[in-house]
Amino acid sequence: MDDAQSLGSDSAPPAVVVAQTVEGVRLQLDSRVLLEQPNGILGRPRYNPARTQFAISIMPTGAETARLAQVIIFDARTGARLTTLPGHSPQWDAAQNAFVTQVERELPSVAAAQNVARLTAAAYPTTIRVAHHPENSCRTVADWQVDVIPFEEYVARAVPAEVPASWEFGALAAQAVAARTYAWAQILVGRPDYDVTDWANFQMMCDQRYAATDAAVSATAGQYLSAADNALHAPIIAMYSAENGHPTLTNPNVSYLQAVPDLFAIGRTRWGHGYGLSQWGAQRRALAGHTYAQILGHYYTDVHLQNGLAPDAVTAHFIEPAAGALGGDWLAWRSLTSYAAAAPAADITIALQSNLPLTPTWPSTQPVRLTGASGAWRLPATLVEGQAITVSLYANGVLQEQRPVTVDRSLPVAPALSAPALVTETVLPLTISAGADDELALNLGWRWQGEALFHTPSSGMVVNDAAAHNGAAWSAKAGVDQPGVWYGPYTPELPAGRRYRALFWLRGPQLPATAITQTTALTPVARLDVTDDLGNNVLGLRHVSIADLQAAAEPGYAPIAVDFYLFELPTGLEFRTAWFGQVDLALDRVEIWALPTDDWRSSGRIEWPIYAMTGARDIQAATFDMAGNMSGWAGASVLVRDETAPRFGATPALPTWLNTLPLSLTMAVTDSVSGLDFSNAQLHIRPLNEEASTGATLPMTFTQIANPWIGQWAQAVLMEINDGRYTAHFEAADQAANRGIGPLFDVQIDTTAPTITLSVTSGAVTSVSVTS
């Protein structure tokens, strides 16, 4: 993957080099690097007829990522990036104009292939017809040449074209299963001339093979994914791309491409279409010890892991639990099985064994056996902290996998917190100390009561509740109230560039232990999510089960965590609870806790930039351990008083003379503490070298009136003014009445055209006077 390839075709001279790197691609002009992109695909460089510019396609790795392609045009002499166009396969006309193949940036078109797959018996393929796409830069065969390739060899050539061969085995094996599944589904479409291309309008294939990827392909030979709701066990359209983000996205056309949280992608910008397996997420999970089956079971919903070479084989793999600390009162398990294992005649068994002393509920000589591909089991109260449990998965009595877990229900030690009583600057200094193995979290007064949010009609009512934070909560009764959504508060008050944890404090049904079975314990009762932009941007999500609600950290209420990351300042965050109406549910409050980023550690001094925060604030710090247990919190009271005026940016870049009216003048301004007062801002302009009283004052408008704390543009419009030289400055106040004055700048206006006077006297020299 680290050899450089110089392209010397008619359309690309040797000076332009497309190189495969350890993790992606690199574009060079001679030895100079123009761009590098992990998990990226570069097309073939195309020169314009004059050979002064060249264009090249770039897109993420993954299935059907050509719809995300862009064409970048470079100066062939300097390497300067000139422009970027949406599309791929660039061409040039005789007039030196570039044009591209446009793409539809909509959902991957899985519906047609899926319909064919549902109607087609799944006979495992032996070969596949691969057409060479002209944009594929890793093969040197004729454009659109169709090669018939042994199917498993094709998979072995596709895997290293999609992910680095240096990656972990679990990621490579998951990629092999996804690529094999996708290719087989395309074969079932039945195209007349070919099954797939070797490019990103399907999935990439090159000629190179590597020992590591060959091993992953061989270890998973014949394995593919089928949908649980497909009786023919045909392969799914196994979409995947480089970085699918957190959470991934839902494709409503199919059951198996549903949005799932991916905490391994927190803070990672999406680089791909967002559907199905995340290639980088798979690598991070593999580094954390996840198996390829765990990875596949996380990213694809309600699927079976089949073997086309052995259709009747009975197999099962853990999706959860992961090895490690086990918090809470329930041990939940999910497994990824073959279809045969899921049939009623099969026996999927979970065995839990420990070296505890013999008790009526926990026999040490015989393991506890539970039947089912998924479920949850309430841990006995007699379990002690640090107790090791081995969780074994059987299919038809044959051991498939084991997971060691350790009981950890102890709360971590609360951190120490100190803060000044009064803050008048734009930074809040905090001193915090916490355990080295615990994750620190901060709450700066971000708390919204459940009863104060918005609620769909008939989805519950406000109740008095002594266990609630402020004595009241929003409560819904199954069979009485209508399923609905509790949403809001549309807040823009959280700073961007940070990781957060939303804690939904929920109370579930008051059920006796005997009423909750291993199956009903995992019954989804609600979906929680964090969104922005009126719900169009989903930042985090989680489904809540009955088991989640049984262990309450406070009397009656359990904190359910939804992690998210803010890449940009929000327009109006919502913390939504979609109640399904099956069991009683109450919402006390939603709290937001900031989690560590690169600029702060678990102990030491933190310089927290103040954003949308004035007046008295109760600051809280808490810690979370590896099992997800939350400590008590340490608190400090801070009075934030805004004594800092709004800050202006650089002076406008104006021409020496302005010759048209009306004239729009703009300048950047921000006030992140109390926020701008949009009603109290002006532009002052006066003739140069004259008293201010002779000038004019104009009102200002702003570009982001929904968010007074965000940096934005202030604008004033001069409709009429006499020609001349002026000096001007902006002035703005914040909501704490601090006034900021922007820098002075000159405005020179001349809207009058020159006047030409021509006089001619017979027999004399002509004179011309010009007045401007």
Share of the chain above pLDDT 90, in %: 66
Is the pLDDT confidence value at 364 over 50? Answer: no
Q: State which amino acid sits at residue 277.
A: L
Concatenate the DSSP letters of all residues of 19-75 into one string.
EE-SSEEEEEETTEEEEEEETEEE---EE-TTSSEEEEEEEESBTTGGGG-EEEEEE
Higher model confidence: residue 315 or residue 223? Answer: 223
Average of per-residue pLDDT across 239-251? 97
pLDDT of residue 5: 44
Q: Indicate the pLDDT class of residue 360, thresholds 50, 70 and 90.
A: very low
Higher model confidence: residue 509 or residue 224? Answer: 224
pTM of the model: 0.88
Higher model confidence: residue 133 or residue 387? Answer: 133
Q: Indicate the pLDDT class of residue 121, thresholds 50, 70 and 90.
A: low
Of 395-409, 456-470, 561-575, minimum mean pLDDT range: 395-409
Task: Give the C-alpha separation, 492 to 470, whole Å.
Answer: 24
Query: What is the per-residue pLDDT across 253-271, written as a single tens digit (0 to 9) for each?
Result: 999 999 999 999 999 999 9
pLDDT of residue 522: 86
- Note whether 439-601 and 647-749 share their fold: no
For residue 472, list its beta bridge partners. Answer: 464
Task: Give the C-alpha separation, 478 to 456, whole Å.
Answer: 15
Is the pLDDT confidence value at 489 over 70? Answer: yes
CB of 18 within 8 A of CB of 3? no
Q: How far is it between the farthest Cα atoms of the chain?
A: 132
- Please name the helix (run of DSSP H) or strand (run of DSSP E) that holds residue 556, with its range, or none: none
Task: Give the C-alpha separation, 380 to 298, whole Å.
Answer: 28
Is the pLDDT confidence value at 437 over 80? Answer: yes
Is the pLDDT confidence value at 443 over 60? Answer: yes
Higher model confidence: residue 359 or residue 186? Answer: 186
Concatenate the DSSP letters of all residues of 664-708 into one string.
EEEEEEE--SS-EEEEEEEEEEEETTS-GGGSEEEE-EES-TT-T
Of 108-112, 229-233, 511-515, 651-655, minimum mean pLDDT range: 108-112
Is the pLDDT confidence value at 252 over 90? Answer: yes
Average pLDDT for the chain: 88
Enumerate helices (H) and strands (E) in the chain, giving the number of each. Answer: 7, 56
Tally the C-alpha atoms within 13 A of residue 258's C-alpha that lie toward its C-beta.
13
HEC letters along 582-600 = CCCEEEEEEEEEEECCCCC
Q: Indicate the pLDDT class of residue 597, thresholds 50, 70 and 90.
A: confident
Average of per-residue pLDDT across 635-648? 96
> What superfamily does domain 647-749 belong to in CATH?
Immunoglobulins (2.60.40.10)
pLDDT of residue 163: 97
Tell me the CATH number for domain 439-601. 2.60.120.260
Residue for token pair 């996380």: 298
Average of per-residue pLDDT across 376-390? 81
Task: Give the C-alpha separation, 299 to 280, whole Å.
Answer: 12
pLDDT of residue 354: 60
Average of per-residue pLDDT across 532-561? 87
Is the pLDDT confidence value at 349 over 80? Answer: no
**Tokens, residue 112:** 């047609």
Average of per-residue pLDDT across 653-665? 89
pLDDT of residue 396: 84
Is the pLDDT confidence value at 706 over 70? Answer: yes
- Please name the helix (run of DSSP H) or strand (run of DSSP E) that holds residue 547, with its range, or none: none
- 304 class by beta-carbon count within 10 Å (0-12 exposed, 13-18 middle, 19+ buried): buried
Of 30-39, 164-173, 370-379, 458-467, minimum mean pLDDT range: 370-379
Of 113-127, 198-212, 570-584, minimum mean pLDDT range: 113-127
Q: Indicate the pLDDT class of residue 371, thresholds 50, 70 and 90.
A: confident
**Tokens, residue 74:** 């470079």
pLDDT of residue 601: 64
pLDDT of residue 494: 94
Pick the CATH number of 319-407 from 2.60.40, 1.20.120, 3.40.50, 3.30.70: 2.60.40
Average of per-residue pLDDT across 104-131? 65
Average of per-residue pLDDT across 294-323? 94
Is the pLDDT confidence value at 119 over 90? Answer: no
Q: Where are the domains of the chain?
A: 4-101, 118-307, 319-407, 439-601, 647-749
Average of per-residue pLDDT across 759-764? 64
Task: Give the C-alpha separation, 449 to 589, whole Å.
Answer: 4
Average of per-residue pLDDT across 73-78? 92
Query: What is the per-residue pLDDT across 445-459, written as a single tens digit (0 to 9) for each?
Result: 999 999 999 999 999
Of 76-80, 313-317, 328-332, 532-536, minimum mean pLDDT range: 328-332
Sign of the CA dihedral running 19, 243, 135, 68: negative
Query: What is the per-residue pLDDT across 747-757, written as a single tens digit (0 to 9) for each?
Result: 999 999 888 87
Q: Indicate the pLDDT class of residue 692, thresholds 50, 70 and 90.
A: low
Task: Give the C-alpha separation, 542 to 553, whole Å.
Answer: 19
